[in-house]
Structure 1
Amino acid sequence: MPTATDTFLCLRVERVDRHRWLTAGAALTLAAAAVIATFGLPPVDLHGPLHLVGAMDPFCGGTRAARYAAQGNLAEAWRYNPLSIVIVYGALAAVARAGVGLVTQRWLTLKIGWTPARRRWTIAVALVLLVSLEVRQQLRADLLMEGTHTWL
């Protein structure tokens, strides 16, 4: 059990891949980003009912932003949803980690030393970031609703 004096984050090199689920999810994410970067946005409306009345959520603009991030246009990706840059390039890093691991049989593994206090702080920071993104996206409702279907 970690204590408050233990390191919060630790990178280790191991002989076993303990994050296969991460690699699989990252590969699917990159495949989806590559498809929309190549062929365009999906022909169906992916928005929930609240979007149709102008209520944005933190993930609004994510598909368009992921497309721009996959194309390397980070300014446009940031404009629509900065979270997409983290997701697309994080997935790229996870797949690169897997590639290096397959070649070298050494896997970079991130260990987190959770304590109850660290867990509470992490949740609090994550909630503040999520609420901040929600406010940002709502302030950009006109941009995010552009080109989407509305009932009104």
Structure 2
Amino acid sequence: MTTVADRRPFVRLHIERRDRHRWLTALAVLALAIAVAMAVLGLPPVDFHGPLHKFGIMDPLCGGTRAARYTAQGNLSEAWRYNPLSIVIVCGAALIIVRTVVGFISHRWVTISIAWTPARRRWAIVIIIVLVALLEIRQQMRADLLMAGTQTWV
């Protein structure tokens, strides 16, 4: 038996008169500012790695800092080598900022709505778990690359 929510499109794009996602804009500005700062100034002299990194156990976020820096520099192939998730995050942040600029100019805000149902939520969780697991496997296969040059600075 299908309900009305099951028949609605999963993702819907619509225009609004006000920005209901200012928090997302603030987060995007912060993320992009950090990526650009790293592109210009270099990597931070702080070790962000978890305790398992020293034993060669990578997590899905390993290589993200270097990948964000390469993405901000426009070197997408090198960013992909370190962590493809950073390309998605940096480019997504840039798109959100473009959305904000267009919204300020036009007073129309592009908004994405997701029509969640219990079945759609379960599928989304399963897909996210599978993608994170695949990224974890990929990052573990690149442990030598990700561990190179990550000694703690003193």
TM range (shorter): over 0.9
Distance between the aligned counterparts of 1:148 and 1:17, measured in 2? 41
What's 1:136 paired with? 138
Superposition deviation, residue 95 in structure 1: 0.5
Which secondary structure state, in structure 2, belongs to the residue aligned with residue 67 of structure 1? helix
Count of aligned positions: 150
Q: Distance in 1 between matches of 2:26 and 2:82?
A: 26
Q: What's the CA shift for 1:2?
A: 5.6
SS at match of 1:130: helix
Gaps of 5+ in 1: none
TM-score, normalising length: structure 1: 0.96
- Match in the other structure for 2:25: 23
1:16-95 equivalences in 2 (<5 Å): 16-95=18-97
Deviations 1:16-69 (A, max 9, x none): 101111100000000000100000000121111100110000000000000000
1:90 Cα deviation after fit: 0.2
Identity of aligned residues (%): 63
Inter-partner Cα distance in structure 2 for 1:44 and 1:121: 38
The Cα RMSD (Å) is 1.1
Counterpart Cα distance in 2 of 1:97 and 1:2? 30
Matches within 5 A, 1:91-130: 91-130=93-132
CA distance in 2, matches of 1:123, 1:135: 18
Aligned partner of 1:147 in structure 2 is 149
